[in-house]
Structure 1
Amino acid sequence: MLQTVELPLWLVILGGLALASLTLNRVLVPSVRWVLRARVNRVLKRANESLRLSIQPLTLTKRQVLVDRLTYDPQVMQAVREEAAEFGEPREVVAERAARYAREIVPGFSAATYFLFGVRASRWIAQGLYRVRLGAEALGDIDPDATVVFVMNHRSNMDYLLVTYLASERTSLSYAAGEWARVWPLQQIAKAMGAFFIRRRSDNPLYRRVLARYVQMATADGVTQAVFPEGGLSRDGSLRPPKLGLLSYILQDFDPEGPRDVIFVPVGLNYDRVLEDRILTEAEVDADGRPRFRASVWTGLGFALRHVWLRLRGKWNRFGYASVSFGAPLSLRDFGTDQPEALGDALMERVGAVVPVLPVPLVADVMLRAAGALSRAEITARAGVLRDALVEKGAHFHLPRGDFDYAVEVGLRGLVRRHILRCEGDDFAVAPEGRDLLAYYCRSIAHLPR
């Protein structure tokens, strides 16, 4: 019993590895998993206690469960049979394609990623680049059992971060993200924060059925969503007509007599400077009507490095003001489901009504209408007349520091610094190379009644 037993070294190493693996799987991993789960549960508890709109169970369901539920949905399976019959493909092949679409669309929400990383990163980036202001907030008392859909104008890719940050005390948001975000590691981060990806230009019936059923499942289960009805960034600065894709999916499955209403909350965003403004205004349209942007990874990297260098030299300034306003909610149960075009128009009208007026768009409007150079006093006087006309009609005006003269100064400084305006003594004139950008910012408030 006490005799020495000789074993080959490889067998000792193999046994040690097996013992270490067993200890890891049976003791350490469950302990770490328990600690992480406890922390996530604490985050969820604090979030649901503080949020106006609590996180719904569907959002917390394991992603694979949602993928399977979507893949084997009766309507999706019917679409699989129809496509298999139409193209003569084996049903298993088409079903696998539907499953691939489901895996592509369904997010994998992580409360820890959203609240411990996403919201904090959004706040840090937004406040680092802009002076962020929350404009009007007319949310009122929304039924906690209703499904809330935030409907927003799309000015910049910063919209995602800005609204995530400003809405973080009210709810978590599930965004409809375009194909541009399907790159590593952005795709993984976006899905962990609840975003679902859509192929905006796909007309494949099977893909559209899978996407429609996911949107309808999320809506029926009360998941708070955020959509951009314009379908993409505004390339000329103006509000674009609504595209009814996602809205039509919601309408198709909505039961006015059901237990859950759908509440649309209009959200208006505006910036003193849109990061992508030159890329958007210089975009060319191909033969199919699709925009082609002159941008690359190197363009973005060069932009970032240039501003880092300015910051290191103490010459960097934030990009002015960014503001978000929330408008009066619209109940789908009250509005009805028989007029999707009218619903789209009504929502875009409400979104447009709460787009904030900021210093740069205000000064841009004045300068674009001027016949020639204007003095600082003339610009201030004309901007004052325009402000009064806009406010009288109900526009949401952001006044920095409560000082109108300072607001005009902020607008002039931002436009001169970017060579959109030229300053000659006390007179300001539009630079020939800056007219397109000036018009871009002017159009952001051109729809407002005055």
Structure 2
Amino acid sequence: MGRSNPTAPIAMAGTDIAIVGDNIQVHPSSIGGQSPEQSLLEPYARFREEPLSALQELGLHVFGTEWRSYDKIVGQEIFYPGFSENMKSMVMSQGRLRQKISELALKRVEVEIVEGVLGPKGLEGETPELRRKRVERRRQIEAQLTQVAEEWTDNMICKMDSRYFIRGAYYLATQLVTRAYHQGIHVSSDEVLRLRHVAEEAAKKKQSIIFLPCHRSHIDYVSLQLICYRLGLALPTVVAGDNLNFPVVGSFLQHAGAMWIRRSFGDDQLYTTLVQSYMDTLLQNGFNFECFVEGGRSRTGKLLQPKFGILSFLLESVLSGKVQDAIICPVSTQYDKVIEVDSYISELLGRPKPKEDLMGFLSASNVLSWKLGRVDVRFHEPWSLREFVQDQQTRVIKSLGPSPTSDMPLKRRLLTTLGYKVLSEINDVSVVMPTALVGTVLLTLRGRGVGKSELIRRVEWLCERVKSRNGRIAHFANFSTEVVVDRALDVLGPKLVGRVEGLPEDTYFAEDRFQLSFYRNMTIHLFVSQALVCCALYTKVKLGGGPESQTMAYGELRDYVFFLSQLFRAEFIFPTTSLEENIRTTLQGLERDRILVVSRKDDGSDEIETVGLHPAERASGREDFDFYCFLLWPFIEASWLGAVSLYMLTPPPFHLDADSWLDVSTFHNKAQLFGKTLYHQGDLSYFEAVNKEALKNAFSRSEEEGIITVARSKEAKSTPRMRLDKEWMPRRDHDGKFVPEGKLWEFCEEISKSRREGKNRRDGTTVQTRVLGLAELVGKDLFEGAVPQADGVAKKLRRRKGIQTKANL
């Protein structure tokens, strides 16, 4: 690997488009292009500095001068007086909603008949007068339900009634975004031109475009709305949780395109049908739509697993035949710096999420004086939802048979495939921002810090690795690597990246590793396969010795990669290819990069026998091999912590009830406390391993594997409870101490094989007594609030085991 030239331009992939005034400027893909860097949004004059210019610009928007009029959009007509009333009327006239109201009214009448309120049950005592009374009661209930549905509809639907409002809202939102993100919003010209063409064709067919973005910040939906407005596309209706529907802000967002929806529907059949009817109405009439596949915002920087609530409604619209077709468009939004990261870290460390309100919204106003870099939005090639359904139906019928006994397996398969397909395509079009490059390098180097020249060299190396994985780097015209790194360091700031003064060379170090991990996680999806393979081989490398002792049989490596992939199935979006094919492809790449060496049989079968470190990699100090391991080590550490935490579920000696059930929330809090103690005592290498999302994934996996059992109730005030499965219960010695053996200990040890060795963690046999003793100490209070097993709980849990339930929003 040669030394870098800090004045050379960095090879950034992707062509950007900048819209300034009424002109479109294209940034060339080649690094030699001369187009200046521009933002999609033009910076406006500030009232304090240039009051007359600011007022003039505001007037241009309010009165709709040129493109600001927003009256020649691509798509169905929106923003006109009476839009909300028309929408409400269309929703309330939906056949499935009228049918559900009638059905619920009839059920209520039947209940009142059974209760004796509407006369005797059966036809013997029924008279014409009684029949009329029952019919009248049914009509009365239908009227009441209709009134409730109308109120819910009014609260739910977006209210695009005023073109003057949206012009002013665009101006205000642009002011806010361009102050926080001073380098603006960037998009790809090729993708935008393709999207406009698709939108024009969809408008002719009265089809909706369903935008499905990733979700890292509240800026996500603002940036997409601004892009659609500036490009003249019909604004999408955006699904938003009703926790954001607080005074002033809630009304503003609803008139700008937000639809309010409950975070959970429970068993409310009327509300569920109402949401489905609204989806049907939007898609039947070709209105654009937007929802987040992950449900909530990612607090960790990487994509979350898909949530299927809203997706299931969209799929149902097509499967039911209510909607002929809709266009799916996955969207990636990447940031140099995310506004909410500070609060994310606080939440991940166990502090309660603050309730959304106006004061909290206004308290974020100080970010407007920050310089957070830029936002990059990328659009995957749109595709037909109808064609996807037809293709998947053919595949599912082949696997399940021509006459499945129920539609549920088919719908479940369609929904799951849809969710992961969208997430995979979001990853495909995502760009890696400079802050992510710098953050990743700083967190994957050994030692306290790194010199400026070495930092630049490793950033260039990482850029090459990203491109080799068909990834994209944010486009920065012809700026040199040094300039791009300097800009990234400036955006990250001294609170995240420290600099040592007074040295011959500028030297940087990770000041806040937890926050930097958010930006590192923006790159990890590109290298998950390499990281799994290298961490599997690391189980041999960490034992030391010569090259022969650090070589691993292929079968052993494959088995451990499978173990890790199962361990992290809730953490990452994996390739859709088979494990065997993915490992072989990954090994070929690592062999080509001279990181690993692979020996094959001489019989011409090309069958792999062993895998080891390449001599060139060993000579370079394992820097590239370690890079891949560093990516995965924090997640391995979190999984190990989650497994060891399960020891706290063991009843203390002489506890009377061995079948005690423990409060899940209390256990999660104790597990975090346990992890923080291990970190500060040196038995845990990464503080980010104690974050509640990683532990939540670890415990969910333990539940799926049957290591723990969780009892949940549909009652709102009932809290979930858990216990350790008897087969996994650790044994104690005659002194009441844990014995390091059994299924749970073996599971912990299997994870520990690939944990990072080093000076930050003490290893050896004493970990058995030290860590297990601490688990006993931290978890001793759990059983004070334990409750005995309720009658029938075990039977219900066994009956529910393996049944996948519909996820909430």
TM-score normalised to structure 2 length:
0.45
Of 467, 484, 504, which aligns to 1:391? 467
For 2:473 and 2:185, how far apart are their aligned partners in 1?
Answer: 11
Aligned 8 A contact 1:133 1:321 in 2: yes
Q: Which residue of 1 aligns with 2:513?
A: 435
Q: Which residue of 1 aligns with 2:70?
A: 47
For 1:167 and 1:445, how far apart are their aligned partners in 2?
Answer: 27
The letter for the 2-side match of 1:163 is: L
The letter for the 1-side match of 2:276 is: A
The letter for the 2-side match of 1:304 is: S
For 1:259 and 1:68, how far apart are their aligned partners in 2?
Answer: 18
Aligned 8 A contact 1:177 1:197 in 2: yes
For 2:223 and 2:454, how far apart are their aligned partners in 1?
Answer: 34
Q: Which residue of 1 aligns with 2:437?
A: 362
Deviation at 1:210, TM superposition (A): 0.3
Structure 1 or 2, whichever has the larger Rg, is 2
The answer on 1:409 being equivalent to 2:470 is no
For 1:44 and 1:208, how far apart are their aligned partners in 2?
Answer: 39
The answer on 1:341 being equivalent to 2:416 is yes
In structure 2, do the counterparts of structure 1 residues 394 and 83 end up closer, same or farther at CA, with 3 Å as the change threshold?
A: same
Deviation at 1:44, TM superposition (A): 11
Look up the SS of the partner of 1:167 in the other structure: helix
Of 299, 303, 312, which aligns to 1:239? 303
- Residue deviations 1:39-62 (CA, integer Å, cap 9, x gap): 99999996353x3x2234798753
Aligned 8 A contact 1:113 1:192 in 2: no
The letter for the 1-side match of 2:309 is: G
Deviation at 1:262, TM superposition (A): 1.1
Of 61, 79, 88, which aligns to 1:67? 88
The letter for the 2-side match of 1:318 is: K
Q: Which residue of 1 aligns with 2:212?
A: 151
For 1:214 and 1:291, how far apart are their aligned partners in 2?
Answer: 33
Aligned 8 A contact 2:217 2:339 in 1: yes
In structure 2, do the counterparts of structure 1 residues 256 and 304 end up closer, same or farther at CA, with 3 Å as the change threshold?
A: closer
Instruction: Within 5 Å, give how 1:240-319 maps onto structure 2.
Output: 240-254=304-318, 261-283=325-347, 292-293=353-354, 301-305=362-366, 317-319=370-372
Q: Which moved more, 1:108-117 or 1:82-91?
A: 82-91
For 2:104 and 2:349, how far apart are their aligned partners in 1?
Answer: 33
For 2:79 and 2:163, how far apart are their aligned partners in 1?
Answer: 16
Q: Which residue of 2 aligns with 1:191?
A: 254
Q: Which residue of 2 aligns with 1:205?
A: 269
The answer on 1:112 being equivalent to 2:163 is yes
Of 383, 393, 400, which aligns to 1:330? 383
Aligned 8 A contact 2:246 2:358 in 1: no
Of 415, 431, 446, which aligns to 2:524? 446
In structure 2, do the counterparts of structure 1 residues 343 and 384 end up closer, same or farther at CA, with 3 Å as the change threshold?
A: same
The letter for the 1-side match of 2:156 is: I
The answer on 1:374 being equivalent to 2:450 is yes
Deviation at 1:382, TM superposition (A): 0.8
Percent of pairs with identical residues: 20
Of 176, 190, 201, which aligns to 2:239? 176
For 2:151 and 2:213, how far apart are their aligned partners in 1?
Answer: 29
The letter for the 1-side match of 2:385 is: L
For 1:238 and 1:161, how far apart are their aligned partners in 2?
Answer: 20
For 1:382 and 1:162, how far apart are their aligned partners in 2?
Answer: 31
In structure 2, do the counterparts of structure 1 residues 117 and 297 end up closer, same or farther at CA, with 3 Å as the change threshold?
A: closer
Q: Which residue of 1 aligns with 2:569?
A: none
In structure 2, do the counterparts of structure 1 residues 76 and 317 end up closer, same or farther at CA, with 3 Å as the change threshold?
A: closer
Deviation at 1:330, TM superposition (A): 1.9
For 1:70 and 1:294, how far apart are their aligned partners in 2?
Answer: 31
Q: Which moved more, 1:106-115 or 1:213-222?
A: 106-115
In structure 2, do the counterparts of structure 1 residues 75 and 41 end up closer, same or farther at CA, with 3 Å as the change threshold?
A: farther
For 2:349 and 2:453, how far apart are their aligned partners in 1?
Answer: 41
Aligned 8 A contact 2:88 2:157 in 1: yes
For 1:109 and 1:258, how far apart are their aligned partners in 2?
Answer: 24
Q: Which residue of 2 aligns with 1:12?
A: none
Q: Higher relative contact order by CA 8 Å / sep ≥ 6: 1 or 2?
A: 1
Aligned 8 A contact 1:178 1:199 in 2: yes
For 1:45 and 1:368, how far apart are their aligned partners in 2?
Answer: 45
- Residue deviations 1:257-308 (CA, integer Å, cap 9, x gap): 999531111111111111111111211598xxx9634887555545535x67
The letter for the 1-side match of 2:264 is: R
For 1:259 and 1:205, how far apart are their aligned partners in 2?
Answer: 21
In structure 2, do the counterparts of structure 1 residues 268 and 57 end up closer, same or farther at CA, with 3 Å as the change threshold?
A: closer
Deviation at 1:256, TM superposition (A): 10
Gaps of 5+ in 2: 1-61, 113-140, 394-413, 531-809
In structure 2, do the counterparts of structure 1 residues 156 and 232 end up closer, same or farther at CA, with 3 Å as the change threshold?
A: same
Deviation at 1:201, TM superposition (A): 1.8
Following superposition, which runs of at least 4 residues in structure 1 exceed 4 angstroms of deviation? 39-46, 57-61, 84-89, 255-260, 294-303
Task: Give the number of equivalent residue pairs.
Answer: 396
- Residue deviations 1:175-203 (CA, integer Å, cap 9, x gap): 11111321121222222223211112222
Q: Which moved more, 1:198-207 or 1:112-121?
A: 112-121
Look up the SS of the partner of 1:264 in the other structure: strand
Deviation at 1:167, TM superposition (A): 2.0
In structure 2, do the counterparts of structure 1 residues 117 and 343 end up closer, same or farther at CA, with 3 Å as the change threshold?
A: same
In structure 2, do the counterparts of structure 1 residues 98 and 44 end up closer, same or farther at CA, with 3 Å as the change threshold?
A: farther
In structure 2, do the counterparts of structure 1 residues 231 and 258 end up closer, same or farther at CA, with 3 Å as the change threshold?
A: closer
- Residue deviations 1:378-397 (CA, integer Å, cap 9, x gap): 11111111111112333231
- Residue deviations 1:236-257 (CA, integer Å, cap 9, x gap): 1110111122222122122699
Q: Which moved more, 1:200-209 or 1:223-232?
A: 200-209
For 2:525 and 2:340, how far apart are their aligned partners in 1?
Answer: 21
Q: Which residue of 1 aligns with 2:410?
A: none
TM-score normalised to structure 1 length:
0.79
Q: Say what the alpha-carbon RMSD is for the aligned residues.
A: 3.1
For 1:411 and 1:395, how far apart are their aligned partners in 2?
Answer: 19
In structure 2, do the counterparts of structure 1 residues 293 and 112 end up closer, same or farther at CA, with 3 Å as the change threshold?
A: same
In structure 2, do the counterparts of structure 1 residues 74 and 258 end up closer, same or farther at CA, with 3 Å as the change threshold?
A: closer
Aligned 8 A contact 2:283 2:323 in 1: no
